[in-house]
Structure 1
Amino acid sequence: MFPLSFPLRILKRNAQQSDTVLDPFCGRGTTCFAARLLGLQSMGVDSSPVAAAITASKLVNTTPEEILCEAHSILMRQCARAVPDGEFWQWAYHPEVLNALCRFREAF
């Protein structure tokens, strides 16, 4: 684990705009993210599915508007199929909030 400034400094100093950055042990994807910030192509590989998911989430191309639109779409769907029941859930969440959280969970 290292700060973003580390790969940024190395890539700024050594990479050409036409280069592709390969990170064979990408972990959290910091090097691939640094490459993206500098306009470089990158490819990251890791044996850990968790690391791959973290890297993918860092590199997704989206806008706040697209995220809000998707969230609105999820919330406009019918009620969640499975909503936990019991005293804890009644105390912890308003029924509408719990249903919305469950719809988000089911969407992903």
Structure 2
Amino acid sequence: MRTLITALILIAINMAINAKPQCQGFNNYDDKVTIVFTDDNAGEQYTVSDVKLIPTWRGQEYQATSVKATVKNGVATVTLIFPHITQFSNPKVTLRINGKKTSFKVCQ
């Protein structure tokens, strides 16, 4: 029984470590950039910090002006707001989720 519990805990930790944000939406309207992503392995705690948008054509980083996260049934939905930017080329977002650094390509 103890082995089974240990195995289940290790599986849960592995799933949390391998969790990856999935871009759901992107727009550049109303003088701001809005990006929405989900994470299917959110668990109960989901803290997002150090959020930056990198439009790779210039290499410049833009700090998020707003970060809103909600978790429902283990799925996190996060809305990120950045200043208005007029040009993009395969942008990506870097951030920390529960303290762990990760990144994802922005869907366009």
Q: TM-score range by the shorter chain?
A: under 0.3
The TM-score with structure 1 as length reference comes to 0.20
Higher RCO (Cα < 8 Å, 6 or more apart): 2
Q: Which has the larger radius of gyration?
A: 1
Greater strand proportion:
2
The TM-score with structure 2 as length reference comes to 0.20
